[in-house]
Amino acid sequence: DAGVIQSPRHEVTEMGQEVTLRCKPISGHDYLFWYRQTMMRGLELLIYFNNNVPIDDSGMPEDRFSAKMPNASFSTLKIQPSEPRDSAVYFCASSLEISGGASDTQYFGPGTRLTVL
- What is the contact surface with other proteins in residues (CB under 8 A)? 4, 41-45, 48, 55-56, 91, 93, 98-100, 104-111
Least CB distance to other proteins at residue 111 (A): 5
110 in Cβ contact with 50 (< 8 Å) = no
Q: β-strand 10-13 against 112-116: which pairing, if any?
A: parallel
Least CB distance to other proteins at residue 19 (A): 19
Least CB distance to other proteins at residue 107 (A): 8
Closer by beta carbon to other proteins, 65 or else 91: 91
Closer by beta carbon to other proteins, 65 or else 111: 111
CA distance 99 to 9: 28
CA distance 73 to 25: 6
Q: Please, which residues bridge with residue 67 across strands?
A: 77
